[in-house]
Amino acid sequence: MIISMKRHASKEQIQQVCDRIGDFGYKIHAIEGEERVVIGVVGVGDVTACLESVEAMPQVETAVRISAPYKFVSKEFRPGKSVITVNGCEIGGDEFIVMAGPCSVESETQIMAAAEGVAASGAKLLRGGAFKPRTSPYDFQGLETEGLKLLAKAKKATGLGIITEVMSDRDVELVAEYADVLQIGARNMQNFALLKSLGKVTRPILLKRGMSSTIKELLMSAEYIVAHGNPNVILCERGIRTYETYTRNTCDIVAIPALNELTHLPVILDPSHATGKRSLIPALSRAGVAIGADGLIIEVHPQPEKAVSDGAQSLDLNQFQKLMTELKPYIQLWQQSRVTEAAAAV
Ligand code: PEP
Ligand code: MN
């Protein structure tokens, strides 16, 4: 159950509601939003009796029963789509958003060339890892703070918003100083200490699906972030591990409409990590647009053959430009269907 208090509810009125919920044996989880307090109710008890009792209390705006274990991110909580504003663009709204850039920030020359190239082709956010989760401890681990500073330079030069990964709760504040969106990589999707610390930042979060995680587990991880105070979460399908080895991961493409059924959070697709092969990126990108993703995140490098990480799945700047041109008619259809869906929802 989720209870939304009216805007001007006093502390005492909120406490009275919490006490009443407690009488029914439930636990509460209150989130203080900018405008109002929302109370999540968890546990086992007589839902109908609790709901009816609370609904009648002063300053309670709505009380909604939510059967999904993920409460705040569920479609039951909010039937429409959440729109998340990042550096002037809206994710989950009427614009299809493409984020692009190298796997890792490597040097000023590299990130500037990447930023200028992807901006010219229509990307809205620049991606690039400064803290890199690498399988081998001997591989390039990222430029860390120096990498963040280079991303800030690239933002200044191009106006692109920045998305970059944070791997540890210790670095959340530092990364949030430079990034417009904090990326949580597949390997950290269930790093619960990290997820909790993200509740305290105002920056939106891109939460990537763990490589062996179910859709429900992805939503539970998103719930951690929202329940700890940050409602701005974008989900990302980036492929899961199966017995198939031709592709780096197996893209669970149907996860996108499935997530759109289950949650109001925006959902994007990462065709680069899903395939591991640059030749497959255009086809999978088209599929992502057609199946209702809100955007794409694509690895692009000015010289993929020299990339320190993920070169084989990185497009060069010309290939990215060609892809963006090829996607245009698909995105036009996507926009038409968004308008139709919005009209049907009214
Ligand atoms: C990345 O975006 O470079 C990355 C490491 O992705 P993932 O966490 O999906 O493997
Ligand atoms: Mn990568």
Least confident of 44-53, 129-138, 199-208, 281-290: 44-53
User: Hey, what are 103's tokens?
Assistant: 């796997």
Q: Is the pLDDT of residue 17 over 90?
A: yes
Spatial contact of 39 and 5, defined as CB atoms under 8 Å apart: yes
User: Hey, what are 199's tokens?
Assistant: 């509740």
Which of 103, 162, 164 maximizes ligand 1 atoms within 8 Å of its Cβ, making it the mutation to test the pocket? 103
Question: Which residues have C-beta within 8 Å of that of residue 292, sequence separation ≥ 6?
Answer: 256, 257, 260, 267, 334, 337
* CA distances, 120 to each of 123, 251, 318, 321, 322 (Å): 8, 28, 11, 8, 12
Check pocket membership of 99 for ligand 1, CB cut-off 6 A.
no
Question: Percent of the chain, pLDDT > 70?
Answer: 99
* CA distances, 110 to each of 63, 75, 143, 220, 244 (Å): 52, 41, 13, 37, 33
Report helix, strand or coil for 41: strand
Residues near ligand 2 ion, CB 5 Å cutoff: 103, 310
What mean pLDDT is reported for the chain?
95
- The closest ligand to the CA of 241 turns out to be 1
Per residue in 176-189, pLDDT (tens digit) is 999 999 999 999 99
Q: Provide the 8-state DSSP code for 83.
A: -
Which whole number is the average pLDDT over 163-177?
A: 98
Q: Is the pLDDT of residue 326 over 90?
A: yes
Q: Which helix (H) or strand (E) holds 90?
A: strand 89-91
User: Hey, what are 264's tokens?
Assistant: 């109001």
Check pocket membership of 301 for ligand 1, CB cut-off 6 A.
no
Q: Which long-range contacts (CB under 8 A, 24 or more apart) does 141-144 make?
A: 142/104, 142/105, 143/104, 143/105, 143/106
134-299-310-305 Cα dihedral, nearest 10 degrees: -150
Q: Is the pLDDT of residue 342 over 90?
A: no
Confidence of residue 201 (pLDDT cuts 50, 70, 90): very high
Q: Is the pLDDT of residue 45 over 90?
A: no
Minimal-distance CA residue to ligand 1 atom 3: 103
pLDDT at residue 343 in the model: 80
Check pocket membership of 241 for ligand 1, CB cut-off 6 A.
no
Question: Percent of the chain, pLDDT > 90?
Answer: 88
Which of 99, 166, 208 maximizes ligand 1 atoms within 8 Å of its Cβ, making it the mutation to test the pocket? 208
pLDDT at residue 30 in the model: 77
Would you say the CATH fold of 84-345 matches that of 2-64?
no
Strand partners, 269: 237, 296
Taking the C-alpha atoms of residue 58 and residue 285, their distance in angstroms, rounded to an integer, is 50
pLDDT at residue 264 in the model: 97
Q: Is the pLDDT of residue 126 over 80?
A: yes
Minimal-distance CA residue to ligand 1 atom 6: 185
Which of 136, 270, 300 maximizes ligand 1 atoms within 8 Å of its Cβ, making it the mutation to test the pocket? 270
- Residue of 256, 223, 228, 227 lying closest to 73 (CA atoms): 223
Per residue in 140-158, pLDDT (tens digit) is 999 999 999 999 999 999 9
∠ CA 171-225-150, nearest 5°, is 35
Check pocket membership of 133 for ligand 1, CB cut-off 6 A.
yes
* CA distances, 137 to each of 132, 210, 211 (Å): 11, 20, 20
Taking the C-alpha atoms of residue 292 and residue 256, their distance in angstroms, rounded to an integer, is 7
pLDDT at residue 329 in the model: 98
Instruction: Assign domain 84-345 to its CATH architecture.
Output: Alpha-Beta Barrel (3.20)
pLDDT at residue 248 in the model: 98
- The closest ligand to the CA of 300 turns out to be 2
Spatial contact of 150 and 173, defined as CB atoms under 8 Å apart: no
Check pocket membership of 186 for ligand 1, CB cut-off 6 A.
yes
- The closest ligand to the CA of 213 turns out to be 1
pLDDT at residue 322 in the model: 98
Q: Which CATH number fits domain 2-64: 3.30.70.1140, 3.40.1410.10, 3.10.20.600, 3.30.70.380?
A: 3.30.70.1140
pLDDT at residue 44 in the model: 82
Question: Which residues have C-beta within 8 Å of that of residue 310, sequence separation ≥ 6?
Answer: 103, 104, 272, 273, 299
Spatial contact of 195 and 210, defined as CB atoms under 8 Å apart: no
Q: Count CB-CB contacts under 10 A for residue 146.
A: 12
Which residue ranges make up each domain of the chain?
Answer: 2-64, 84-345
Q: What is the CA radius of gyration of the chain?
A: 21
Taking the C-alpha atoms of residue 314 and residue 129, their distance in angstroms, rounded to an integer, is 14
Strand partners, 315: 300
Taking the C-alpha atoms of residue 232 and residue 84, their distance in angstroms, rounded to an integer, is 6
Ligand 1 atom closest to 129 (CA): 3
Name the one residue in this structure whose structure tokens are 């390997």: 187
Per residue in 27-39, pLDDT (tens digit) is 888 787 777 889 9
Per residue in 52-100, pLDDT (tens digit) is 999 999 899 999 899 899 999 999 998 889 999 999 999 999 999 999 9
Report helix, strand or coil for 109: helix
Check pocket membership of 102 for ligand 1, CB cut-off 6 A.
no
pLDDT at residue 43 in the model: 83
